[in-house]
Chains A and B, each alone.
Chain A
């Protein structure tokens, strides 16, 4: 009797029918599109339409489109430069951070060797290191990649250690008692258990890499969106400032979506619904 009751409860939870209480799927998207349209209309009205805001402070949509028309070859180069730096530094830094974090969570020696260094570096905002990085590595790609990688490394190492330590010990014990060796238990328990947290860390790291790399480009670079925005601001070229800013947003969004899409399957077990 009790068994069939619990079965029914779970069957409801497992079936897609549980989403029936949410509003229809499309309505959310409609609302989002509407709010975007409102913003653009408001932008047009405040600048071209009424002239309340002077183009000295904020460009009108037409000015932006016009500048896009003659600027796009440079813009494309700068966008590519920034994006490549971010992706490369993010991949290298995150990989090293996860590896170091796993090592620290696993080995007493590694933990005590690396902990003080990481704790000392952690409170320093990566942007504060830009002058040193330029001094040591110049204004080329290398310095920016080092800076972005360092930021991602710090995020992932802390994230990996904390989430590994939060895995309930009962899972490891269950795995060991079912016949897994220590290494196998680690690989089949800790890794899958922390995957959702790793994905959150990767997303935070990607956003941070954009922030520090654009900041570094503003201070010194041969190409990049940061440099583009900086140069435009010297001549009060507000359409270009806006274009650069929007492209950064788009690039960050695209990278974030890619991470989410790639990780979707492997973290579904932890999703609240689905």
Chain B
């Protein structure tokens, strides 16, 4: 668990006449253990921001800090969960979960226990030795989440992880995130297009403007965890939802 700080970061793609500012002087502070969601129009630079924190890209300008350290190339301290299915099909479910500790050269009994614990938390105890091709899309996403937590990173980055799932499967993912939050608190940056989802899982929702992204507003979610699916019908929840829609919309009209 560590804080993440993005200060005055710009990211330029292309050169000459084709330069694209994917990010321009972006700033974001995420507290240690905080779950922050980014919502914003398509193409505003959310994925770029996440890739910068993950170390897949290096910023044209500005500094990203993970705790006290300047973020470098990927090192296992920042695990990414993608929208695309990234569960390794050539490994069994259990071997997928063991992958992080294995490549990091850890083989502690704590890691073996974590594998079994998270396998149980996502309800896949019976599928430990199955290959991913025998699992449904939702089950594979649970493997993906469990693999990220078993790896025990300091920061978790999720880029629309549930974007391709149906609403019922999504809801079960929210429950899993809540369970994981109870088991092992992490600093999380979570990108989504689903405002309801953002409110259900986050401590704070950041609303971004169109490209190059600036933070238009941020909304604290005051509801205590665990949050139940019924909470969506509460007037407070609906008011927050409308507030975020409105904040997103201010820029849609410009």
Separation in Å of the A29 CB from the closest CB of chain B? 27
Q: Is the CB of A3 within 8 A of B172?
A: yes
Separation in Å of the B87 CB from the closest CB of chain A? 8
Q: Is B139 an interface residue (CB 8 A)?
A: yes
Which of B123, B133, B136, B151 is within 8 Å of A269, CB to CB?
B133
A175 neighbours in B (Cβ, 8 Å): 88, 99, 103
Q: Is the CB of B80 within 8 A of A177?
A: yes
Q: Is the CB of A179 within 8 A of B151?
A: yes
Q: Is A106 an interface residue (CB 8 A)?
A: no
Q: Is the CB of A13 within 8 A of B134?
A: yes
* Closest chain B residue to A12, Cβ basis: B134
* Closest chain A residue to B85, Cβ basis: A170
A177 neighbours in B (Cβ, 8 Å): 54-56, 74, 76, 78-80, 157
A7 neighbours in B (Cβ, 8 Å): 123, 139
Which of A10, A170, A192 is within 8 Å of B134, CB to CB?
A10
A9 and B127 CA atoms in complex are apart in Å by 13
B126 neighbours in A (Cβ, 8 Å): 11
* Closest chain B residue to A184, Cβ basis: B103
Separation in Å of the A260 CB from the closest CB of chain B? 18
Separation in Å of the B69 CB from the closest CB of chain A? 15
Q: Is B168 an interface residue (CB 8 A)?
A: yes
Q: Is B107 an interface residue (CB 8 A)?
A: no
Q: Is B82 an interface residue (CB 8 A)?
A: yes
A1 and B166 CA atoms in complex are apart in Å by 13
Q: Is the CB of B79 within 8 A of A178?
A: yes
Interface residues of B in 70-92 (CB under 8 A from A): 73-80, 82, 84-86, 88-91
A173 neighbours in B (Cβ, 8 Å): 54, 56, 80, 82, 86
Which of B99, B100, B104, B123 is within 8 Å of A3, CB to CB?
B123
A98 and B131 CA atoms in complex are apart in Å by 26
Interface size class of A (residues with CB under 8 A): 20 to 34
A192 and B92 CA atoms in complex are apart in Å by 13
A14 neighbours in B (Cβ, 8 Å): 127, 130, 134
A144 and B127 CA atoms in complex are apart in Å by 50
Q: Is B163 an interface residue (CB 8 A)?
A: no
B204 neighbours in A (Cβ, 8 Å): none
B-contact 0/1 string along A2-24, CB 8 Å cutoff:
11001101110110000000000
Q: Is the CB of B135 within 8 A of A189?
A: no
Q: Is the CB of A168 within 8 A of B84?
A: yes
Interface residues of B in 178-227 (CB under 8 A from A): none
A35 and B157 CA atoms in complex are apart in Å by 59
Q: Is the CB of A10 within 8 A of B103?
A: no
Which of B73, B77, B78, B136 is within 8 Å of A6, CB to CB?
B136
Separation in Å of the B66 CB from the closest CB of chain A? 13
* Closest chain A residue to B165, Cβ basis: A2
* Closest chain B residue to A13, Cβ basis: B134
A6 neighbours in B (Cβ, 8 Å): 136, 138-139, 169
Q: Is the CB of A270 within 8 A of B90?
A: yes
Interface residues of A in 155-207 (CB under 8 A from B): 168, 170-171, 173-181, 184-185, 188-189, 192-193, 195
B82 neighbours in A (Cβ, 8 Å): 170, 173-174
Q: Is the CB of B88 within 8 A of A189?
A: yes
* Closest chain A residue to B132, Cβ basis: A269
Binding site for B on A (CB under 8 A): 1-3, 6-7, 9-11, 13-14, 168, 170-171, 173-181, 184-185, 188-189, 192-193, 195, 268-270
The 5 A-B residue pairs whose C-beta atoms are closest, nearest first, are: A179-B76, A2-B168, A174-B86, A180-B103, A179-B104
Binding site for A on B (CB under 8 A): 54-56, 73-80, 82, 84-86, 88-91, 99-100, 103-104, 123, 126-127, 130-136, 138-139, 147-148, 151, 157, 166, 168-169, 171-172
11 contacts between A and B (CB under 8 A): A6-B139, A10-B136, A14-B127, A14-B130, A170-B84, A177-B55, A177-B80, A178-B147, A179-B77, A179-B103, A181-B103
Q: Apart from A14-B127, A179-B76, A179-B104, what 14 extra A-B contacts exist at CB < 8 Å? A: A1-B168, A2-B169, A6-B138, A6-B169, A173-B86, A174-B80, A176-B73, A176-B74, A177-B157, A178-B147, A179-B103, A181-B103, A192-B88, A270-B133
